[in-house]
Amino acid sequence: MSSAVWQRLSPRMLLVHPVHEVLKQLPLLIGAIVLGSATQNPVWSLVGVGVIVMLGLARWFTTTYRIDERDIMLRTGLLQRNELSVPRNRIRSVQTEARLLHRLLGLTVLRVSTGQEAKGDNAFELDAVRSDQVAGLRAVLLGEQRDDAPAGEPLASWAPSWLRYSPLSWSGLLTIGAALGVAYQAGLGDVLQQWVLLFGGPWLIVGAVLAGVVLAVGRSLLTYGNLALTRRADTLNLVHGLLKVREHTYDLRRLRGGTLREPLLVRALGGARLDAVMTGVAGAGESSLLLPACPVGTARGVLSELVGNADVVAGPLVAHGPAAVRRRWVRALLVPVGVAVVLPLLAVPGWAWGLWGVLLVACAGLAVDRVCALGHRVDGQWLVTRAGSVERRRDCVQTAGIIGWTVRQTWFQRRAGVATLVAATAAGTKRYVLIDVPAEMAWTVAATASPWVADSVWCA
């Protein structure tokens, strides 16, 4: 496989490319058909379809790839030739994906990630190779031994009960909102107003919310159904999706920790998400996803397994003290107090004060929750920091990966005697923040985590 010859993608793509090309060039195709019917000359339509199909076929003939000892290379393009070369030691992860048509033909798209956010022409994507070649290619690209392809140790697998967290995401409602926006744009506003008259506004809202829930659950089922997270010798394998199967392989040697994310609504039902913190991989989004919203026990179990220390994942944290608590309260109450100052000047009706009361309670709840969350935990191996309410996260980062510390103080923080401590790493989100640590504790945390701080000439 590592012989340095230029190879082509699977010939079955000769069937897939024209279809995809037709879908991609739909405007052009519609133009050709319109032209054909306008000029009463169907030849135009045929020429249009023909050109598009030829373009699709040409993509197969013009795309070749090569894997040699040092680099992997990909040549694409019919008129504008593009050659992309990636050093093999820069390969961080290999992702695969199979859309419906690909799956029917036994094909898989293979994507190589180097950690840089590659877009469009710079993404190394083999679209597509035969599915039975994938395991071998993956092993070659990640420099594994092919022999150790045993099933590995399963860490987590999807259960239908995970679906209960998906109605709590905004994705369904956002989809409906977007659809409504498009409908208005398309001049369907009158139809919508007739619906409001017909069914009544409240029922329509209930219907929209229900539809949003159904959409969100359906989407979650299609995206994460059959998810399985498996640990191999030095890789982590994530497979998910019902129609479009995605497979992501993480290099465990680059794993520097993990982030438990507990958005408010998911947390309310005892759920959490899990992201990997990896060198050279963006800390958010699909490229670092390990588990979608799932029971918090599962997420913690997997992270403990990866980290090898249950205390890091679930152990108690050191709180940040009274000044940090005070600052959470001041910030949360700033908005209600501001509104309370403005409201009397506006001569608002009485119920506005009721709304203000709701706002006050919500802000107070936010402050309490944020105070509860705030904390950190540090030893020679792991730095753990937790913060936030609506988007609560617990970041667990290996201290060996920390390559810089910043102690930041605004004027207000100096007066309150607290500081924001930022650990810089090359992994995940690149900066892991400890909010409002007591100022005298900031360097203690840094020195505990990083011996090079404790041993420096400035450390008394």
Partner 1 sequence: MGAPVLMKEPAYPPSRSAPLVWALGAAIPWLAVALGQVVWFVLDGRMPWLHVGVAAATMVGALVSVVVAPIWRYRVHRWEISPQAVFTRSGWLVQERRIAPISRVQTVDTYRGPLDRLFGLANVTVTTASSAGAVRIVALDASVADQVVAQLTDIAALGGHDAT
Contacts of 113 (CB under 8 A, 6+ apart): 91, 92, 93, 94, 95, 281, 287
Closest contact distance (angstroms) between CB of 373 and partner 1 is 20
Site for partner 1 contains 230 (CB under 8 A): no
Count the neighbouring beta carbons within 10 Å of the beta carbon of residue 95.
19
Closest contact distance (angstroms) between CB of 424 and partner 1 is 3
The window from 205-213, 353-361, 365-373, 406-414 that contacts partner 1 (CB under 8 A) reads 406-414
Among 378, 393, 395, 398, binds partner 1 (CB under 8 A): 378
Task: Tell me the two tokens of residue 47.
Answer: 């020429």
Closest contact distance (angstroms) between CB of 303 and partner 1 is 22
Is the separation of the CB atoms in 252 and 94 below 8 Å? no
Instruction: Give dist(CA 447, CA 394) in Å, integer.
Output: 21
Nearest CB to partner 1, comparing residues 307 and 378: 378
Closest contact distance (angstroms) between CB of 92 and partner 1 is 13
DSSP state of 200: -
Task: Look up residue 308 and give its amino acid.
Answer: G
Closest contact distance (angstroms) between CB of 412 and partner 1 is 10
Site for partner 1 contains 430 (CB under 8 A): yes
Is the separation of the CB atoms in 109 and 102 below 8 Å? yes
Closest contact distance (angstroms) between CB of 149 and partner 1 is 32
Taking CB under 8 A as the criterion, which residues in 238-277 touch partner 1?
none
DSSP state of 456: S
What x/- string results for residues 27 through 66 when contact with partner 1 is judged by CB under 8 A?
A: ----------------------------------------
Contacts of 421 (CB under 8 A, 6+ apart): 405, 406, 407, 408, 433, 434, 437, 442, 445, 446
Q: What is the per-residue DSSP string for 33-97? A: HHHHHHTT-THHHHHHHHHHHHHHHHHHHH-EEEE-SSEEEEEE-SSS-EEEEEEGGG--EEEEE
Site for partner 1 contains 410 (CB under 8 A): yes
Site for partner 1 contains 425 (CB under 8 A): yes
Site for partner 1 contains 422 (CB under 8 A): yes
What x/- string results for residues 308 through 327 when contact with partner 1 is judged by CB under 8 A?
A: ----------x---------
Taking CB under 8 A as the criterion, which residues in 274-293 touch partner 1?
279
- First-to-final CA distance of the chain: 57
Closest contact distance (angstroms) between CB of 15 and partner 1 is 44
Among 19, 233, 268, 454, binds partner 1 (CB under 8 A): 454
Is the separation of the CB atoms in 424 and 431 below 8 Å? yes
Integer angstrom CA distances of residue 128 from 12, 55, 253, 355, 390:
9, 17, 28, 56, 40
Among 76, 175, 304, 406, binds partner 1 (CB under 8 A): 406
Site for partner 1 contains 441 (CB under 8 A): yes
Binding site for partner 1 (CB under 8 A): 279, 318, 378, 403-411, 414, 422, 424-426, 430-431, 440-441, 443-448, 450, 452-460
